[in-house]
Amino acid sequence: METSSIANNQEQARATIKAEFEKTASSLLNTLADIRPEQINIKPTETSWTAGQVAEHVFKSVVGIPPLFAGNTEAVQRDPAEKEQTLKDIFLDFNARYKSAPNIVPSNDPHKKAEVIAALEVVIPQIKEVIDTQDLFALCTSVEVPMLGKMTKLEWLYLVCYHTQRHVHQLKNIMQAL
């Protein structure tokens, strides 16, 4: 592929993922805003997370993206969005249940609505910054996703969006149950 074509494709991919991320972040913040402060630490069922735990989990899952993107990369030798549909199928299958990676499991401590929203409002612009400034087609080589392997920055951003959309859906179910 010639360089100008790759650059053009990257700018199209950047615009698409930026719109997806902004829509997802807005939906997350709006959903959290609708939860009353006294509801943030209530479990709708014995085995479920609270809204505060869901928000903390999402925060923990995205806060590592800027450092990951600052790590080692290499040129990708495949479609840089190859795993996007797989990620979408995994995370937006609301009937499937998954166990969280240990490093992003939320605490059992009480959460404050204003604090979880404030934490997300700090990391969201950081993600927007990497979308605007990074080579999204670069392959991140320092972390492999189980069963998916190494992913491009673009694929990591799709993971962030679809994972967050999954948890927005969960937050809405929690609100309905309370």
87-145 pLDDT, tens per residue? Answer: 999 999 999 998 898 999 999 999 999 999 999 999 999 999 999 999 999 999 999 99
Cα distances (angstroms) measured from residue 44 to each of 28, 67, 108: 19, 34, 15
For the domain bounded by 3-177, which CATH number is listed?
1.20.120.450
**Tell me: the pLDDT tens digits for 130-164?**
999 999 999 999 999 988 999 999 999 999 999 99
DSSP states of 62-84 as a string? Answer: HHTHHHHHTS-EE--SS-TTTTH
Residue 74 has phi, psi (to 5 degrees) of: -150, 165
Give residue limits of the domains in the chain: 3-177
Q: Which amino acid appears at position 160 of this protein?
A: V
Give the C-alpha separation, 25 to 28, whole Å.
Answer: 5
**pTM, to two decimals:** 0.93
Query: Could you tell me the CA-to-CA distances from 83 to 70, 135, 150, 158, 159 in Å, in that order?
Result: 21, 17, 10, 9, 9
Which of left, alpha, beta for 147 (phi over 0: left; psi -120 to 50: alpha)?
Answer: left
**What single string gives the DSSP state of each residue in 21-50?**
HHHHHHHHHHHHHTS-GGGTT--SSTTSPP
Least confident of 37-41, 69-73, 97-101, 119-123: 97-101
Return d(Cα 36, Cα 174) in angstroms, integer. 12
Q: What percentage of residues in the chain have a pLDDT greater than 70?
A: 96
Helices (H), ranges, the chain: 3-33, 51-63, 65-69, 84-91, 113-133, 153-177
